[in-house]
Structure 1
Amino acid sequence: LHQQLAGLQSQVAQLQSQSTTAPTSEQLQQKNQQIAALHQQITALQTQVADLQRHPPITPDPQKEQQITTLQQQVRDLQTQLEERTSPPSMALLQERDRQITTLQSKLADLQAQLAVVQITPAQPSTNQPSTPLPEAVAPDSDSIPASSPLSTTAPPLDLAEVERRLKAQLGSTVWFCLEERSQHNLCRALLLHHQQTWLNDADYSEVGDRLCRVIAQEIVQPFFTHLYDFLVERERPSDIGGISIDPDNKMAFGLVASLIVPRWETFDPKALQASQEPNEEQLYATGRPAQLVGTDDRALMQQFLSGWEHPLATWLLEDPEDAASLIDQIHYLHQRIAQDNMPLYEWQYTLLAELVIGDDEQWGILQAVYRGRQSG
C-alpha cells in the first residue's frame, strides 16, 4: 500500500512539473491520461482500504475504525476532484489541473499519515499450528517479508534484539560471537522468515532453509576449501585430492567435504527426501561413501592439513570425523533440494535442517560442535 502511495506521489510530481510550459493539446492530453491513471490507482487503493475494513481487529478499536472511515472519505474526495474534464486547451484549464494536482499532493500526504498509524491486527493462528525448533523473533525488514504479503495476513512485528538474545541462549554466547556478522544476519533472517511462513501457513520452507545453509557455507565449507587450497599451493601440489578439485569457488564443494574426511558416514537416502511427511529412521538414513577415489595417501595428506590448521573446525574434523562428515553431508542433501526448481522444502525437512544447524533441547547442532569443541550428539 505504501509502495502504491509512493507511485501516486511520483505521478503527481510529474504532472506538476509539466504545468510550467505553455498549454498545448498534446500537453493537456498527456495530463488527462496521467490523471486518469492516477484515478485508476486510487480506485485500487480504495479496494485495499475496503479489504482492511473487512478484516477488523479481534478487539474493535473505535479510533482505528474512525481512521479507516476518514481514509475512505479522502479517497472519495480525490475521485470527485478528478471527474471534471473540458476539451479546449487553455491556460485556465491547465491551471485548474495544477490546482487539482496541488490538492492531490495534500491529500496523499494526509493519506500517508493515516496509514502510518492504522494497524490491522490479524486473526490469531489456530492452536494446531505446527511447533518449530526456532524461537519466534525479530522485526520484519525489506529482505525478510515478501512484498506481496497482504496486510491482513502479515505476522506481528517482533524485536531484533529478542531474536539475538534467543539465538545466544540457543547457541551460547561463545558460539554467537565466533560467527561472522553475515552468518549472524542470516540466522536472524531465518527466524523472521520462519515466523512469517508459519503465520501464513506456507508449505514451502526453501527460502528460510536457504538462509541456514548460507551460514554453513560461510562458516564451514568456504573456510575448509580456502585453507586446503592454500595448503596445496604452498607445497606446490596439484589442486585436487583423489580426483576431487579443491576450488574454493566450486559450487559443488558442499557435497565433497565428507568424501575428503572419512571413507563412510551417515547421510540421507535421496528417495526418502521426496516424501511430504517425515519417514522413519530406517527409510531416512543411509550409509554415505566417497564418489571419488580418495586413497590412504590422500587421507594422510588431509590429516597433515588439519593438524596444521589452527581453527576450531580443524579440531572438530580431527577429533570426530565421522560425526562431522555426517552432519555436513546431511545439510548438503537438504541444501541440494532447496537449489532444485519446483522442489519444496517440507516443514519436516526444515525442522531437521534447523536441528542440524543450531541444535535443539536434546542435542547440539553443527555450530555448537565446531565452536565449543564437542560432538553434536
Structure 2
Amino acid sequence: MSCVYKVEALLGEGTFGIVAKCRDTKTNQAIAIKVNKSRPDVQQELDPDAPNIVKWNGFFHDGERVCLNFKLLDQCLWDYIGDRNNQGLPISKVGPILGQLTNALSHLGSVGIVHADLKPGNIVVVNRHESPVKVRLTDFGLACPASAVNPSDCVGTVGYSAPEVMLGLPYNEARSLGLVAVELATGVPLYPVENECDYLKFIIETQGQPPDHVLDSGVYTDDYFIEDNYKQQRWTFKTEEQFQYETGYPSLETLYIKLKQDDQSLFVSLIKEMLALDAHQRITPSEVLRHPFFNPGLSNRFPCTDIERPHRINLQKRETKVWIIGSIMKWACFRRPQTFFSFDKSLPVKHSCYKSKAKRKCNTHTQSIDNHTVTVDQSIAPVPDQP
C-alpha cells in the first residue's frame, strides 16, 4: 500500500536536512516530514515515546535519503517568545519548561546521545494555548553517540554552545540549556553575537576568562588567545584588531536591554551553575532537577549565599535597567537611561535574532515546492503502533 504526501510549506532547513509541512492526501491530515540530506538520523535510535522529545511516527526512504514522519506541532520557542513581544516569561512559567528540557537531556544522556545544537529554534511548543505549556526537543541533525563526539568538531550555534566547543574540548549541554532558560526569562538572547570571537569576548567580560588549565588543553585555544609564559595568567585574549586582522570579522557593539525586577535568586543561582566556564564544574542535567529552584523547600537548608543581589539599592522608586550581558553573573545595576536601548524601538539591529518577528520565524526559507509530492511505500517501513 502506498501513500502520497503533498508538500505545503518548508518549515526549516539545516545543514543535514529540511523539515516540511505536508498533507497526507489519503487522510487529509497535516504532518511534518524531515528529510535527511546525507546521513541517517540519530532520532531513529531513540524511543519514539521518550519524554519531551518530539515523537516520530515512522520513516520511509526517498532514494538514499531517510524521511521521518512527525506529528505537526505548534511553533518553536523563538516564535513563542516573539509572540509575546520578546518581553520574557515569568519565572513561574520558565520553571516547567526548563524541567521538561532537563528531562529530555537526561533521557539522551541515559542512552548515550548528545544533541549538539540545543537552542530555542530546536525546541517546539506542543500547544501555545495550554498551561503549563508543553515542549519537545527536536532537530537531531547534529546529534551523535557521546562516544563518537570529536572535541575538535565545532558544533552547535554561536551564542548557545559552550566555550569549550570553540576551544576544541569535550563539552556538555547544560550551558546551552541555561542560555535557553535566560532567553525565556528575558525575551532576548544573553549573547547576541555572530562569531566566536564576540561570543568568547562577552563570556570573558561577564564571567572571567577560562582558567589556564582549561585553555592549555584546547585544540583551538591559539585561535583566540596569545600565550605568554612570563605572565601569571599565561593566556591573553586577542584584541579586536588582532582577531579582525586574522579573520576579517568585525566586533559587535555591546547591547543593553531591560531585565525584569522580579527575577528570583534561586533561578539566578541555577543559571550560574549551568553557565560555569569549566565543564567539569558545571551542573549536569540529572542534577538540575535536584537544585533548590525546583525544590523551594530546600532553599532554607541550602542558601544561595554566593549571589550578589541588587536589592541593596532601592529599586522601588525608580526604574532600574540591568546590563543583560552581566546580569546573571554580576547583577550590575545602572541608573543611566540614556545608555540603554529598548528592545522594540531603538535596539541596534546587528544580528538576525534581533530583526523583526517575520524575519525570525523558523520557516524563513522560501522555496517553490508547493506542488511537490512524495510517494511513500509504507510496506517498506510500517508505522509503529501508537500508545
TM-score between both structures, scaled by the size of structure 2: 0.24
Higher strand share: 2
The structure showing larger relative contact order (alpha-carbon pairs under 8 Å, at least 6 residues apart) is 2
The structure with more radius of gyration: 1
TM-score between both structures, scaled by the size of structure 1: 0.24
Higher helix share: 1
